Every structure is written in structure tokens, then in C-alpha cells.
Structure 1
């Protein structure tokens, strides 16, 4: 059982539930005319993430892990193909991969579902704002009207747990060897996207070595932004966001 949840259901069931939620949100966004707004929100957030971690992105030791997190967890990419593959072969994940790796897939699916849900809600509020409103003010107002502070905290907790697990698993030489040996079977089973995700994550964390500084920075910086976007004076928060985006 994943340490972050008391859910007794299997990893495959949890993955399917989360990805069904994402699929429903995508369909709903198209039906509600939210797709463009969702994309705009994702683009702005991706810019903010790149700006917040520009020091790590330009540091050879941390660049690969930072890029991995930004692309795989907070990216503005269309993950529909990866999601379809994950959902289709969720049961095979438990059969072919060790439990710890299956738990990583659960974390990925939950992070993805939380992000899509929050972005969908934020996009709805984004469209409620005046089009002439500065986009930084529009974003802060949309964030506050969306609320969902507990979901934001959960999102951060799951991301940090995934990083901690990647750090732990990269120290297990036998698992790294087994992962390389899984390339052929994973491809044959339709698990290529998961295999690539795992190999990329393991490689990034192995290159970085001790991840404590990296994960502590994510925890501190994202918590700071969560608190600011909810609690700070609106003009001050808007100005801080504008300054941050200029760094991207």
C-alpha cells in the first residue's frame, strides 16, 4: 500500500480511477469550451515553474532531475497518449514491475489527476475574469476563487513522495538492473511510456546523487507560492508573480 494513502485497493485500480478522472475532465473541458483556457493556465504555470527553478535548470548536477519534474509532472504537454497507455495496461504494471515501481506509477497518476482537476477549475475562473485584466492579476484572482487549498497541499505532498521514492529506489542496484532488463517485455506489453518515464527519472536522480537539497527546495518554494497565492495582499502577490515570470 502506498505510504501516502490508506486505500486498500490495488495499484492498477487506483491508476485506472485517476486516469478515468483525467479523461472525464478533458472531455468536460471540450464540452464546456474550457480547453483553450486550460492550455493558457498550463502555459503560465509552466513559465512560473521554469522561473522558480532556473538555478537548478542551469546546474549540471540538478538539471536532469529538474527537467524531469517540470516535463513529467508540471508540463504543458498533452499527456493523452501516455494516459491511454497507462489505463490500458494498469494491470500489467503490477504483474511486470516490483511493488515499489507500481507505487511510483500510482503517484504519477494521482499527481496528474490532481493537476488536471485544479487546472480545469482554475480555467473556469480564468474565463470569469475581465479579458483586459493583467494576466498576473487574472491568475491570482482565479487561484483564490478556485480555493482547494487541501488539494494543493496534497499535490505537493505526492510530488515530494515521488521524489523521495526515486531517491530511495536509485540506490537499489538490483532494481536498476531489473529495469534495464524490462525494456523488451515492457515494449511488448505496451508499457513503453511507463518504462521511459521510469528510466528517465531513475537516470536523473542517479546523476544528481543526494536529492535532499533538491526536494527541500521544491517543498520550500512551492509552499511559499501556495501561501502567497492564497494569503498575500493581492497587488503584492500579483507584482511578485510578474517579477517571477520575467525570469523565465
Structure 2
């Protein structure tokens, strides 16, 4: 394959597969990653409880919670993607392919950081352990990139809401996508489009994520984890 986007997607999926192989060879590591992802999903739910409770933003917040956070296993979806990147690039519009490229890059980066953090965690994870592992792994530039990739995926989905022809194309592609083994990807894109369209503008939602995630990262990198973890986990959404 010579298509740059397709090659980038394959590279990201190979990185994800590598992280899964490491965990498959080490059940203790796999268990720590699962605990880590569960705790991160709980943190997101607490930090964004106002958006989850708001009818305008609830769908998009749940979409982020389910698709970008938490312990859900995407192995089957990723294996499908890896087998059919060539038809993906041919079937879907360039904007959609670019969204998948950004998503796969985010997926790979998140999995790599999760593995590195899990190696620093005890068997029974507490929030204080999480803060300590975050500080041990470090990588502030990678954490900022993780936030920016999340925002890019969200902004691309928001752009789609202003392109009704693209939404129509997605509907028309359900049959071909399913036949090509792309049903999971099709479902992800349609769900993302519909939840973002329901917001009637995603700027407040995405700005809230940017500010809160950057503040969260800065707080985790600073100070003594024993003094910080309780406040970090007990707080509800910022005002």
C-alpha cells in the first residue's frame, strides 16, 4: 500500500497489537491495565458529570466515555481494521479516512501510556498509586498530544455535522462497509456524527474537555501524590 493515511493507520494498529501482545504474555500486567482503564473511566465520569447530565451534551460525553476511555476491548474492531485498511481508504471519503488515522494514532498512544503506567502499579490499585505512576512515567509532551488528538477527532466529527452530503454518503455506505468488514467502523462514525449533530455546536463541549484535561494533567504532574489523590478523585466537575 502506498497511501500515506493507510500506512499511518496500519502503523498505529501494529503499535496497539504490540501492547496487547505484551499483556497477553503477562497476566499480571493485563490485570493492572484493566484496573487502570476502569479507574480512568470512573475519573472521566466524575469530572464530566455536568456534561453527562446535560441533555445537550450527554450523548457526546457518553460517546467519549465509551469509545475513548474505559476498559472496553477493541481487539476485534482493530483486527478488522488491520485486515481491511485498503478497502477503507478506497471506500470512505478522505475526511473520514483522516478521522480514522487520528483515532488510530490516539488509540496507539493511549495504549502505550497505559502499559507504561500499569508496569508501575501494584496489584490493588488506589488513586494515590495512579498519581504516583503518572509522575513516574512522566511524558508531559505525550500527555498533551493525547489531549490534542482527542480534540482533533471531536472537531473532525463536528465538521461532519455541517456537511449533510457526507452524512448521506455514510448512510449509503452501510451495505458496502458491512460487506467489506467495516461494520464496526461504520457504527463508530455514524454514532459520532449523530451525537455531535445533536449538540448543535460542539465548541463548548470540546473547550471544556481541553481545559479540564490540561488542568488534570498539570495537577497530576505537580506535588505529592499522597496529598493530592483524595481531592482529585472526590471532586465533581469544575464550575
Offset, 1:9: 5.8
> Is it true that 1:59 corresponds to 2:54 in the alignment?
yes
> Is it true that 1:222 corresponds to 2:213 in the alignment?
yes
> Which residue among 85, 103, 112 is the counterpart of 1:108?
103
> Which residue among 21, 27, 46 is the counterpart of 1:27?
21
User: 2:136 corresponds to which residue?
Assistant: 145
Offset, 1:242: 3.0
User: 1:234 corresponds to which residue?
Assistant: 225
User: 2:93 corresponds to which residue?
Assistant: 98
Pairing 1:169-248 to 2, within 5 Å after superposition = 169-244=160-235
Distance 1:142 1:234 in 2: 9
User: 1:4 corresponds to which residue?
Assistant: none
How big is the alpha-carbon RMSD for the aligned residues of Structure 1 and Structure 2? 1.7
Q: Name the CA shift for 1:168/1:78 in 2 (closer, same or farther; >3 Å).
A: same
Listed one character per residue, the Cα deviations across residues 81-136 of structure 1 (whole Å, up to 9, x for unaligned) are: 01101111111111001100000101111111111101100000013x8x5xx711
Offset, 1:238: 1.1
- Segments of structure 1 that go 5 or more residues without pairing to the other structure are 1-7
> Which residue among 76, 80, 86 is the counterpart of 1:81?
76
Contact 2:33 2:114 (8 Å CA) reproduced:
yes
Contact 1:47 1:245 (8 Å CA) reproduced:
no
Contact 2:117 2:134 (8 Å CA) reproduced:
yes
- SS of the residue 1:226 aligns to: helix
Aligned length: 235
Distance 2:159 2:212 in 1: 22
Offset, 1:241: 2.2
Offset, 1:245: 7.9
Distance 1:173 1:245 in 2: 37
Q: Which moved more, 1:231-240 or 1:48-57?
A: 231-240
- SS of the residue 1:42 aligns to: helix
User: 1:157 corresponds to which residue?
Assistant: 148
User: 1:70 corresponds to which residue?
Assistant: 65
User: 2:126 corresponds to which residue?
Assistant: 135
Contact 1:48 1:244 (8 Å CA) reproduced:
no
Distance 1:12 1:240 in 2: 43
Q: TM-score, normalising length from structure 2? A: 0.94
- Segments of structure 2 that go 5 or more residues without pairing to the other structure are none
> Which residue among 9, 18, 21 is the counterpart of 1:15?
9
> Is it true that 1:50 corresponds to 2:45 in the alignment?
yes
Contact 1:48 1:245 (8 Å CA) reproduced:
no
